[in-house]
Amino acid sequence: MNAPDIFDRQRRRLHRDRAQAGFARANFLHRYMLEGIEDRLQAVTRQFTDVLDLGCHDGAFMPPPGARIARFDPGFAFARAADGVQGDEDRLPFADGAFDLVVSVGVLDSVNDLPGALTLIRRTLRPDGLFLAAFTGGRTLATLRQSLLTAEGDRPAGRVHPQIDLRSAGDLLVRAGFALPVADSETLTVRYAGLGRLVDDLRGMGATGLLDPAPLGRAGLMAAASAFADRADPDGRTVEQFEVIYLTGWAPAPSQPQPARRGSATTSLAATLRPGA
Note the pLDDT of residue 155: 63
pLDDT digits 0-9 by tens, 161-202: 778 999 999 999 999 999 999 999 999 999 999 999 999 999
Note the pLDDT of residue 209: 82
Beta-bridge partners for 188: 242
Percent of the chain with pLDDT over 90: 77
Has residue 255 got a pLDDT over 70?
A: yes
DSSP string, 24-90: GGS-HHHHHHHHHHHHHHHT--S---EEEEES-TTT-PPPPTT-EEEEEESSHHHHHHTT-EE--GG
Torsion angle, CA of 39/139/56/101, rounded to 10 degrees? 50
DSSP assignment letter at 232: B
Mean pLDDT, residues 227-255: 96
Note the pLDDT of residue 215: 66
- Short-list 149, 141, 122, 146, CA closest to 133: 122
Mean pLDDT (the chain, rounded): 89
Mean pLDDT, residues 194-223: 86
Cα separation, 54 vs 92, whole angstroms = 10
Note the pLDDT of residue 163: 86
Has residue 268 got a pLDDT over 80?
A: no
Structure-model confidence comparison of residues 186 and 275, the more confident one:
186
CA distances (Å), 78 to each of 29, 55, 140, 210, 244, in order?
A: 17, 9, 24, 18, 22
Has residue 58 got a pLDDT over 90?
A: yes
- Highest mean predicted confidence (pLDDT) among 158-172, 189-203, 214-228, 248-262: 189-203
Percent of the chain with pLDDT over 70: 88
Cα separation, 145 vs 159, whole angstroms = 8
157-179 residues labelled b (16+ CB within 10 A) or e (exposed): eebbbebbebeebbebbeebebb
Instruction: Assign 214 a pLDDT band (cuts: 50, 70, 90).
Output: low
Mean pLDDT, residues 57-80: 97
Instruction: Assign 265 a pLDDT band (cuts: 50, 70, 90).
Output: very low
Cα separation, 97 vs 122, whole angstroms = 9
Single pTM value for the model: 0.88
Cα separation, 216 vs 197, whole angstroms = 17
Note the pLDDT of residue 207: 92
258: number of Cβ within 10 Å: 8
- Highest mean predicted confidence (pLDDT) among 140-154, 237-251, 252-266: 237-251
Q: With contact defined as beta carbons under 8 Å apart, do 178 and 131 qualify?
A: yes
Q: With contact defined as beta carbons under 8 Å apart, do 9 and 88 qualify?
A: yes
Residues 6+ apart with CB under 8 A from 135: 33, 104, 105, 106, 107, 108, 109, 244, 245
Q: With contact defined as beta carbons under 8 Å apart, do 180 and 257 qualify?
A: yes
Note the pLDDT of residue 3: 63
Cα separation, 31 vs 27, whole angstroms = 6
Helices (H) and strands (E) in the chain, counts: 8, 7
How far is C-alpha 242 from the chain's CA centre? 11
Mean pLDDT, residues 221-237: 95
Note the pLDDT of residue 274: 42
